[in-house]
């Protein structure tokens, strides 16, 4: 499975060398990079996609997940999950946003 995501990331990179503002290619490369556990690159790509205004709710949701789990930055996770929820108020988004908020409160109490 990792080989398919690696190949996809490489192909989307080739597309982006030709058209650096291709938001769909950038979004799909971010997804592939996340599947390869390259969360730094994935987060950067999702942020670029969001700046282009493409699939905002999905970008914020994915950034929230990246900041919540691999980066363990609850403040940023909550920020992005909340933004994603505001754009697309689904049950899944709300649950993750609330979980990030609860964990953030617990962490602040420990300080």
Per-residue pLDDT of the chain (111 residues; tens, 9 = 90+): 579 999 999 999 999 999 999 999 999 999 999 999 999 999 999 999 999 999 999 999 999 999 999 999 989 998 999 999 999 988 677 888 888 888 888 877 775
In terms of domains, do 59 and 108 share one?
yes
| Domain count for the chain | 2
In terms of domains, do 8 and 38 share one?
yes
What is the rounded CA–CA span in Å between residue 72 and residue 86? Answer: 22
Tell whether 80 is covered by a domain: yes
In terms of domains, do 62 and 108 share one?
yes
Tell whether 47 is covered by a domain: no
CA dihedral 22, 47, 84, 76 (to 10 degrees): 170
- Structural domain range at position 98: 55-111
């Amino acid at each position: 499975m990792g080989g398919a995501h690696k190949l996809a990331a490489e192909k989307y990179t080739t597309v982006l060398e030709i058209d650096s503002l291709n938001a769909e290619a950038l979004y799909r490369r971010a997804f592939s990079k996340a599947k390869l556990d390259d969360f730094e690159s994935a987060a950067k790509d999702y942020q670029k996609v969001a700046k282009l205004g493409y699939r905002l709710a999905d970008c914020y949701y994915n950034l929230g997940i990246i900041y919540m789990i691999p980066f363990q930055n609850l403040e940023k996770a909550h920020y992005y999950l909340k933004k994603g929820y505001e754009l697309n108020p689904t049950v899944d988004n709300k649950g993750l946003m609330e979980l990030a908020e609860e964990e953030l409160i617990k962490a602040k109490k420990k300080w």
